[in-house]
Amino acid sequence: MIKRSILFATLFAGGIVHAQQLPQPSPKGEVEQLVGLTSVEVEYSRPSARGRKVFGDLVSYGKVWRTGANLNTIIEFEGPVVLEGQPVPAGKYSLFTIPNEDVWVVILNKNIELWGEGDRKPEEDVVQFKVRPAKCETTETFTIGFADVKDDKAFLELRWENTLVRVKLEADATEQALANIKEAMAQPEIKPGTYHRCARYCVDKGVMLPEALEWAQKAASTDRKYWTLHTLALCQAANGKYKEAVATANESMELAQKEGDNSYVKMNKERIDEWMRKK
């Protein structure tokens, strides 16, 4: 996690200087999320509304905001990412925004040794893009977090007062994942779970489909569960073997019914209906 110095209040007593850590009005917050295979970390200070109107008053519209309080907010990407369609190299950046009622401007600046927006130099900006804010439930303390984290995509969220700003974040993990799969398959002993996970990843991504079918068959042959069979059915269908896929999905559905897993029953039923039309 990003580490920076913490400021302390200084108290004087009897001619001796004492460093005393006290509660901060805008305490430091840290959040970390793995998106795909890329770690994303944010360090920021968290002001609270305390009965004040925030946007358009405490935080002015149309002006650059440090997106927090105290030291500038820092966001770090372990690998390259794409924010709202804009490529961003791996590294640490200062996060600034320009709030408005109908649109926000989000700015990443390469200088991470700033105190607020006043020291920012536009020529050091790395990327700048616009997003539309939305209404949300009342949030007393400014909060940065992640939502809808799925595969190698997520949303970076900024929440305060009744305003929500969502930034689409993509961290394509396909190349690294395929390298990891090839490494796993080169091992002398491979467990059924490894075959299953690799097959499912490839069929979901639509890559290495013949290999995925082979791995799914090996997983299901040694660990015949409704989830391994469902993956095998997906791989069979992805390779054009719809008759086999329907038979496998029916077996998966029967096992799922016995185990009371209605989600797999539903998924298999939907796939069977789809594949029956293609047989």
81 within a domain of the structure (yes/no): yes
Residue-level pLDDT at 132: 98
Domains of the chain: total: 2
Average pLDDT, the chain: 91
* DSSP conformational letter for 18: E
What SS3 class is residue 25?
Answer: coil
* Rounded average pLDDT over 74-103: 96
pLDDT band at 67 (very low <50, low <70, confident <90, very high): very high
140 within a domain of the structure (yes/no): yes
1 within a domain of the structure (yes/no): no
Residues of the domain holding 254: 174-276
53 within a domain of the structure (yes/no): yes
Residue-level pLDDT at 18: 47
Predicted TM-score (pTM) of the model is: 0.75
Report the distance separating Cα 75 and Cα 41, nearest Å. 6
Of the candidates 121, 139, 170, which is a domain's last residue?
Answer: 170
Burial 136-163 (b: 16+ CB within 10 A, else e): eeebeebebebeeeebbbbbbbbbbbeb
Assess whether pLDDT exceeds 60 at residue 17: no
Cβ–Cβ < 8 Å for 195, 218: yes
* Terminal Cα-to-Cα distance of the chain (whole angstroms): 53
Report the distance separating Cα 215 and Cα 194, nearest Å. 9
Of the candidates 134, 152, 170, which is a domain's last residue?
Answer: 170
21 within a domain of the structure (yes/no): yes
pLDDT band at 22 (very low <50, low <70, confident <90, very high): low
Our separate counts of H helices and E strands in the chain read 6, 12
